[in-house]
Each structure stands twice: as C-alpha cells, then as structure tokens.
Amino acid sequence: METKIFGCRRESLALAREYILKDDVVAFHTETVYGLGANAFSDEAVRKVFALKGRPADNPLIAHVHRDYDISRLIDREPPYAAALRRAFLPGPLTMVYPSAKRVSRYVSCGLDTLAIRVPSSPVAQAFLWEVDLPIAAPSANLSKHVSPVTAQHVYDDFHGKIPLILDGGPCAGGIESTVLDCTGEVPQILRAGLVTREMIAEIAGDCGIYAAKAGERPKSPGMAYKHYSPRCRTAYFQAEERAAAIGCYQDERAAGGEPIFLCESEICAALAPYRVLDLGETPEEMARRLYALLRNAERQATLLIAIEPKQKDGVMAGVLNRLHRAFGVIT
Ligand code: AMP
Ligand code: MG
C-alpha cells in the first residue's frame, strides 16, 4: 500500500472520508501530536488501530469529535464542572473522561465503562472531523512504545506501506499528548499531565486532583502503566545536581568508542559546550514542543542519550517531566 502525505485540501479531506467509511485508518495532525484515526462506531476499524500500533488490548483510545458534535450522544452524564471546563478549554489539548453511553465500539474503551473525549483545536483535525462527522477513535500515530510523532514524516517512518493517508498539518505546536482528566467523580482528577495544567483546571472547577493508582487496583488510565515514548538507543538519566556524574558517563561512552549525546535545557547546554548536546529550550512550552522531535533525532545518531533533568517542575513542566521519565524508564 502506498502511504500518501497530503495537506488539508478539499480533495484530500474527501479521500480521508472515503477511507474512514471503508474502515481504513487515517493519520491526522492535531495541536498535540499526530493521531491514528478510525471510525469509533466500527469494531473492525478500531481493532485495526490496535493491530497497526501493536498496542496492548487494555490501553483505551480517545474519541475525537469536531467542535459542534453533540457529545451527549456518547456519554451518560456530565457533572457541571465538566461543562464549565469544556467551555473554558475546548477545542484544545484536554481529554475528558466521562461515564460512557456505550454507543461507540466496545474496543475503543477496552471494556471500561468510561469514554475519553477530545475536541482538538488544530484546523486540520477540525476539517477532518467535520468532513466525516463521526467520532474518530485515535491514539498517537506511533508504534506502541516508540516516541510520539510530531511531524507527518515521523508518522511515515512508523507506518509507511501500512496506512493509506497522512493529513499533514506541519509540526505540532503543543508537542506532548493531551491532558487526560477523569470527569466521573465529584472533583476532576488528572490521569495524565499535559499542556492544560492542574492549576488551570482548578481555577475553573474549584479543585483538581491528581490520580495515583493504589496497589492492587486496576489503573483508571491503563496506558499510563506502560513504558512509553522511548528512543531506540541506550539512555541514562541524571538530576541537575549530578552533572559531574553525567559528564563521567559521557566520557566513558566516548572512551568505549560510542556516540553519546546530552539532552538538557538551554542553560545546562551552554555549560556543556565542548560536548554534543540537544537543546530542549528555555521555557516549559518550548521543551514540550521540542522533546519528541529531539528523541527521534537522537535515536538516529546516538549510541547513548544522556538526559539531565530540567530544574523547573510544576505547571506545564509536570507534563514534560512525565514524558521524559517514561522515555528514560525513570520510576517516579
Ligand atoms: P494516546 O492517545 O496514545 O496518548 O493514548 C490515549 C490515552 O488516553 C492513554 O493514556 C489511555 O490510557 C487514556 N484513556 C483513553 N480512554 C480512557 C478512559 N476511558 N479512561 C481513562 N483513560 C483513558
Ligand atoms: Mg500514545
């Protein structure tokens, strides 16, 4: 199968619709990362997404809808705080988990009685969702465990010959996956940190928790239990105050004939001038935007990628640190 990469034009949207109605899978740009989309009402189409990614069968997908789609068709009930959050943040990088009305394929939520819904703000995603006027079940468009894609080329690298079409919207401005928020309880709870932060949610909803799975309990967001976002090279991870040890690690790799590269924020990069570095940037937003492209870049060049943790920890950095820890296999 030839994999076409098309911009968002009338003909490519019509083609995308054709594929979706045939239960094929189409990759599309969003403001966070590229998605791998299928008709959420079709068992066959949704199962294709799992098969293509090699995704574990207990890691549910997010239903993406356009801004005027009536989500009351898909969910059982919505607490008042969730309606307020929708008005404040959607369309945008916030996924909301509701009690499901069980109208979409049971494979979307992997047997959970909840459904995750997202309204992306990317104009390409909106045009695609309008064209099909269906909920589109989509995870990130990467092979399971690999780094999430933030360009059409990244999607192509993982899926060429396996999907018919990628709707190209250029590089993703957000760069990390959406915040996933459980809206089934009295107080919203963050299941996955992202660009919509706990502080932003609490300002609208009055309060916002952060979910931590209890021992022995099935996690509410099963996807968060897996190692994720990993570059295909060896990795090492250091705190900012462990810089001397990180340099030792770099020098050992060089001495052994390897190709080490540092990954760190701009300020630390400047201090590591004689060494090979990949610069995450200065602000949390910049680090979110650059992270995945740098991880994919690193795996092509480095035998060992050495991260030094940025100093800032809260707000948007909570999401960036979560992805960094997962990519480097750091247990928190
Ligand atoms: P991805 O789009 O690849 O980032 O994966 C979707 C994320 O949303 C995963 O972390 C899932 O665990 C989470 N998710 C999807 N549906 C649900 C749900 N019904 N309840 C909790 N988390 C969900
Ligand atoms: Mg993913």
Residue nearest atom 21 in ligand 1 by C-alpha distance: 221
Residue nearest atom 13 in ligand 1 by C-alpha distance: 221
Indicate whether 204 and 248 sit together in one domain. no
3-class secondary-structure state, position 271: helix
Q: What is the mean pLDDT of residues 305-313?
A: 96
Does some domain include residue 251?
A: yes
Q: pLDDT digits over 43-58, tens only? A: 999 999 999 999 999 9
Does some domain include residue 226?
A: no
Indicate whether 68 and 172 sit together in one domain. yes
Does some domain include residue 223?
A: no
Does some domain include residue 217?
A: no
- Atom number, ligand 1, closest to the C-alpha of residue 142: 3
d(CA 5, CA 167): 6
Q: What is the pLDDT of residue 223?
A: 62
Indicate whether 240 and 309 sit together in one domain. yes
Indicate whether 180 and 38 sit together in one domain. yes
Does 225 score more than 60 pLDDT?
no
Q: pLDDT digits over 297-306, tens only? A: 999 999 999 9
**pTM of the predicted structure, to 2 decimals:** 0.96
Choosing from 30, 36, 52, 59 the residue with most ligand 1 atoms within 8 A of its CB, the one to mutate for a pocket test is 59
d(CA 39, CA 132): 9
- 210 near 324, Cβ under 8 Å? no
Full residue range of the structural domain in which residue 267 is found: 234-327
Q: pLDDT digits over 32-46, tens only? A: 999 999 999 999 999
- Binned at pLDDT 50, 70 and 90, residue 270 comes out as very high
- Domain count for the chain, please give it: 2
| CATH code of the domain in which 314 resides | 3.40.50.11030
Indicate whether 199 and 100 sit together in one domain. yes
Structure tokens at 288: 């979110």
- Binned at pLDDT 50, 70 and 90, residue 180 comes out as very high
Structure tokens at 262: 């540092």
Indicate whether 49 and 196 sit together in one domain. yes
Q: Which residues, judged by CB distance below 6 Å to any ligand atom, belong to the binding site of ligand 1?
A: 59-62, 97, 109, 112, 114-116, 139-140, 177, 180, 191-192, 220-224
Distance of CA 167 to the CA centre of its chain: 17
Q: pLDDT digits over 102-124, tens only? A: 999 999 999 999 999 999 999 99
Q: What is the pLDDT of residue 213?
A: 76
Q: Which distant-in-sequence residues (6+ apart) come within 8 Å of 17 by Cβ?
A: 131, 132
- Binned at pLDDT 50, 70 and 90, residue 222 comes out as low
